[in-house]
Every structure is written in structure tokens, then in C-alpha cells.
Structure 1
Amino acid sequence: MEDKIVIAIKKSARDLFRKYGYYKTSVNELAKNACIAKATFYKHFASKELILHAVLMDYIQDNVYDILNKHVKENDLALFLANTILRVSRVTYTVCNEFVGWEFIRESANAQEYLKILSEDLEFLLLRSFMQNETIGSVIPEERLNFLIKSSKNIVFSFAFTAVSEADVRKNFISFQKEMLPYLVQATLMDDRG
């Protein structure tokens, strides 16, 4: 169970990062908004990057849980898996855009190093969540699920780096959904089907 100070810091970070963006929000503002001293902030989080990471992972984890457990499950495993991967990909793209901004990530070497860490942690979180889901985890071996998650994440991150406008992003998601995802799901389920 998280203590009240950590909860207050995370709430402050979610609110301010959404309102002003990660790079325009200072630790002083985070502490002030959480009604704590700056030293108290650093007692719980060694850097602003670590609070960003905690907020992103919490947000993604909550949404992945909802996607896996609260959406109506399709009778067709391939369709369920494709729709789940698509929803998770959209959440991941959106939260990175909302809290950090893809424009800045594309231009900053520091942001790209952080993105690598986020990417690895995201893969672990998704694999663990998918393996715990009774519809998916009991049927698909971990290594094939890992292939699907890693491939999908890499595709989504790659078009996040190449998209110039929101219209490009929409086109890329449509292309991913219709042209790439069915083959990734088919490859993931291949041994189960025949």
C-alpha cells in the first residue's frame, strides 16, 4: 500500500504533466502542488524522470487491466488478442503523447534513453498482465506472447517517431490494425491452430 505522500506526489505529477507537459513542469511545482517540501519529494523520488515513469506505468497498468478484464471477451481468440493488442497499443501511444509529447521524444537524446527504459518495462508489464489473463495466458505460450507484444510495441513506437501529424498517426494505426496485426496474431497462434 502506497503512503499518502507518494499518492499526493503521483496525483500532482499526473495533473501537472497533463496540464503543462513533463518538460515544462518543475520539481518545485510538483512539490508545491502536492503540498510537500521539495526535500520530501526527493526523499520519495530521486528525480522528476522517476515520478514520470511511476505515473506512466501506473496509468498503463490500470488501463491494461481494464482492457484485459473488463472488455467483453470475443469467442474468437485471434479476434480477442488482436483487439486487446490494438487497445493496449493505443493507450501506450496516447499516454506517452499526453504526458511527454512525441515531438520532444523524437528530438531529445535523453528522452530516447528514457523511452528505451519505458519500452522494456512496458514489455514486462504487458507480458505479465497477458500471462495472468485466463483467456490468453492459459492458451498461448509465453515466448509467442512475448513475440506479439514486442513486435506490436516496436511497430507502434516506430510510427510514433515517423508521424508528422495526428492524421498520420490515425493512418498508421489503421494500417497496423488491418495490414500488420492480423499476421502477428496468426504467427502467435499458428501452433495452436494446426
Structure 2
Amino acid sequence: MESERIDNAIKTAARELFRKYGYNKTSVAELAKKAQVAKATVYKHFQSKELILHAILMDYIKENVQDILKKSAVATDLAGFLATSILKVSRLTYTVCNEFVGWEFIRESSNAQEYLKTLSEDLEFLLLSSFIQNDAIASAVPEEKLTFLIKTSKNVVFSFAFTAVTDADVRKNFISFQKEILPYLVHATLL
């Protein structure tokens, strides 16, 4: 119980400080002070600042993915459900990475890019397991086809996150993804 309370205090402090100052500009000492624990305690619970970031991003994304899947109706329009869910999760992931880390930092830092690869793989696993737990999806779409849809969509979104220069570029890319790419990916998944 105490360990969980400390984990939560560190993650809460990290969420606030990363949003306010950014991941790169927040030190572990500042996290410890905000969480009211010793710096060594932070490292006892999380081996690195990167692992704290990973924990808060995955908690946030997992909670929101579950909410997205609950709110979307799957009963009659499986293609629409898949497209809407993938689009919402893609936007969520892009936004949360931008909010906590910043795409400029990710584009410029080899450590951030390695971290992004790990996040990407964990996100893929989270989405796949969430979709498989939905009976309507699991009975209608084989796991390998869901994997194709999730992996391809994720790769497209992450690629334009790395190439977009402005927020307007990002909006255009999401519109293009939604209207021109995603329908074909969903169609190929449901064949």
C-alpha cells in the first residue's frame, strides 16, 4: 500500500511538472520535491525519469482507450467503429506525447526516439488486447488482421508526427489519414 501511494505521488508530481515545464526541463530532484519524497526514493520506485514518463503516458492512454471503446458503438457498423476508435486513439497518443514530451524534443533526441519505439510497442499491445477483449471485434476480426490495422495506423501517425513542422501540418495529416488512408486500412482488415 505504501509503495503504491509513493508511486502515485511520483506520477502525479511528474504529470504536473512535465505539463508545466516539459519532460526535458524537469529534473528528478524537482519530481522528488513535488512528490515530497527523497530523490533516492524516486529511483527506488522508478529506475529513470523515462520510466516515470512511460508509466504516466501508459496510465493515461489505457484509461482513455477503455473510455473510447466503451463510448463507441460496435453493434452494426464494425468498419465505422474500427475507424473511429483508431482515429481517436491516434489523436490521443499524438496529443499526449506532444503535451508531456514535445515533438521537437522527440525529433531531435536519439534517447527520445528509442523511448518512442518502446511506447509505440506498448501502445500496440494495449490496443490489440483492448480490441480482443471486445467480444464483437474478437468474433469478427482475426487477431492478425487487427494487428495489421493497429501497427499500420500507428506507423502512419508516428511518421507524420516526425515530419510535420507546424500544428496546421498535423491537422492536415490527420485529415488525410482519416479520409484517405484509414478507410483503406479498415477495408483491408475486414476482407
Q: TM-score, normalised by structure 1?
A: 0.95
Paired residue for 2:98?
Answer: 97
Instruction: State the shift of 1:185 in Å.
Output: 0.1
Specify the SS of the correspondent of 1:122: helix
Note the residue ranges of structure 1 that are not aligned, 5 or more in a row.
Answer: none
Give the whole-Å Cα distance in 2 for the aligned partners of 1:64 and 1:95: 12
Paired residue for 1:22?
Answer: 23
Note the residue ranges of structure 2 that are not aligned, 5 or more in a row.
Answer: none
Is 1:61 aligned to 2:51, yes or no? no
Give the whole-Å Cα distance in 1 for the aligned partners of 2:169 and 2:74: 30
Paired residue for 1:52?
Answer: 53
Whichever residue aligns with residue 144 of structure 1, its letter is K
Measured against aligned partners, the alpha-carbon deviations of 1:68-120 in whole angstroms (never above 9, x if no partner) come to 11334463110111000000000010011111011111111111111111111
Counterpart contact for 1:31–1:38, Cα < 8 Å: yes
| Runs of 4 or more above 4 Å deviation | none
Give the 5 Å matches for 1:116-127.
116-127=117-128
Give the whole-Å Cα distance in 2 for the aligned partners of 1:71 and 1:84: 7
Measured against aligned partners, the alpha-carbon deviations of 1:52-77 in whole angstroms (never above 9, x if no partner) come to 00011111101100001133446311
Instruction: State the shift of 1:127 in Å.
Output: 0.6
Paired residue for 1:40?
Answer: 41
Give the 5 Å matches for 1:79-158.
79-158=80-159
What's the Cα RMSD here? 1.2
Specify the SS of the correspondent of 2:140: coil
Paired residue for 1:165?
Answer: 166
Counterpart contact for 2:149–2:185, Cα < 8 Å: yes
Instruction: State the shift of 1:138 in Å.
Output: 2.4
Give the whole-Å Cα distance in 2 for the aligned partners of 1:36 and 1:139: 49
Instruction: State the shift of 1:139 in Å.
Output: 1.5
Give the whole-Å Cα distance in 2 for the aligned partners of 1:70 and 1:187: 24
Whichever residue aligns with residue 161 of structure 2, its letter is A
Query: What percentage of residue pairs aligned between the two structures are identical?
Result: 75
Give the whole-Å Cα distance in 2 for the aligned partners of 1:35 and 1:135: 46
Whichever residue aligns with residue 35 of structure 2, its letter is A
Count of matched residue pairs: 190
Give the whole-Å Cα distance in 2 for the aligned partners of 1:133 and 1:153: 20
Counterpart contact for 2:72–2:81, Cα < 8 Å: no
Paired residue for 1:71?
Answer: 72
Counterpart contact for 1:69–1:133, Cα < 8 Å: no
Whichever residue aligns with residue 157 of structure 2, its letter is V
Q: TM-score, normalised by structure 2?
A: 0.96
